[in-house]
Structure 1
Amino acid sequence: MLGHKLRSYRKKQGISLADLSRQTEISKSYLSYIERNVKQNPSIEVLKKIAAVMDISVEELIGDTWTELYHEEEEELLDEEWVLLIEKAIQEGVSKEQFKHFQEYIKYLKWAEQNKKNGGTLHEQ
């Protein structure tokens, strides 16, 4: 979604919504609508202004890079909340390796819980 990408680019570059508004001469509320996906089809002129300030191409801004996160054969894979959580984790410096370790830890917890329910001990496999 364009809004998620815009917010992500803006935050990565350390640009506040007010700064982006001032530099693009687009109202802060309108930019907020775009970021929250309330306004999903801004004009090409608006996109050009945003892209210019962020020093990216319009194509990069509207490209399909997030498509795989949202749809695979028309089936939603990640909802907005998941995407925002992932973006926040990335912004806070969580690496792919750390995320993989966390996944393994969750798998272990599920295994331990299931093993306990089945009357086994944690040392059995």
Structure 2
Amino acid sequence: MIGERVKKYREKQNMSLTELAERAGVAKSYISALERNIQKNPSVQFLEKVASELNITIDHLIKDDMDEDESSSGLDADWEELVREAMNSGVSKEEFKSFLEFNKWKLKNDD
């Protein structure tokens, strides 16, 4: 079951087995075996690596009842994508926080 979810989220992001394995630093053969339900008990460390690269929580891989359109953080898919884009483009948390603070200040002073 976990393997089916890994495959679902991997394919949802148009990511190949090889790409996920390389990005997560795990064996491609292990992911393949997991997705085909040959391997059934992945370690927490493995799940953390894979979930991180798939931009989901471990809960998404473990639980059947996770809402696909909304993560446990409560962010909708558009916000998640914006945050992902910011992270992938190299924007640091501090830069993002600075932008938010500037935007709050600007909105307050535009009144």
Question: Aligning the two structures, in what range does the TM-score lie when normalised by the shorter sequence?
Answer: 0.5 to 0.7
Give the corresponding residue for 2:60: 60
> Which runs of no fewer than 5 residues in structure 1 stay unpaired?
67-125
Counterpart for residue 99 of structure 1: none
Match of 2:20 in 1: 20
Q: What letter corresponds to residue 44 of structure 2 in structure 1?
A: I
* CA RMSD across the alignment: 1.3
Q: Provide, for residues 86-122 of structure 1, a one-character-per-residue CA deviation record: whole Å limited to 9, x for no partner.
A: xxxxxxxxxxxxxxxxxxxxxxxxxxxxxxxxxxxxx
Match of 2:39 in 1: 39
Identity %: 39
**Paired position in structure 2 for 1:48:** 48
Q: Distance in 2 between matches of 1:64 and 1:55?
A: 17
> What's the TM-score, normalizing by structure 1?
0.51
Which is greater in Rg? 1
Aligned equivalents of 2:20, 2:46: Cα separation in 1: 12
- AA of the residue aligned to 1:4: E
Task: Give the length in aligned residue pairs.
Answer: 66
Structure 2: unaligned runs, 5 residues or longer: 67-111
Which aligned runs of 4 or more in structure 1 are off by greater than 4 angstroms? none
Please give the alpha-carbon distance, in whole angstroms, between the structure 1 residues aligned to 2:12 and 2:65. Answer: 16
Aligned ranges for residues 1-125 of structure 1 at < 5 Å? Answer: 1-65=1-65
Q: Provide the secondary structure at the position in 1 that maps to 2:56.
A: coil
TM-superposed deviation, 1:64: 2.3
Distance 2:11 2:64 in 1: 20
Q: Deviations over 1:59-79 (max 9, x none)?
A: 11111239xxxxxxxxxxxxx
1:24-83 Cα deviation digits (max 9, x unpaired): 1101000101111111110000000000000000011111239xxxxxxxxxxxxxxxxx
Q: TM-score if structure 2 supplies the norm length?
A: 0.57
Equivalent-residue separation in structure 1 for 2:64 and 2:54 (angstroms): 18
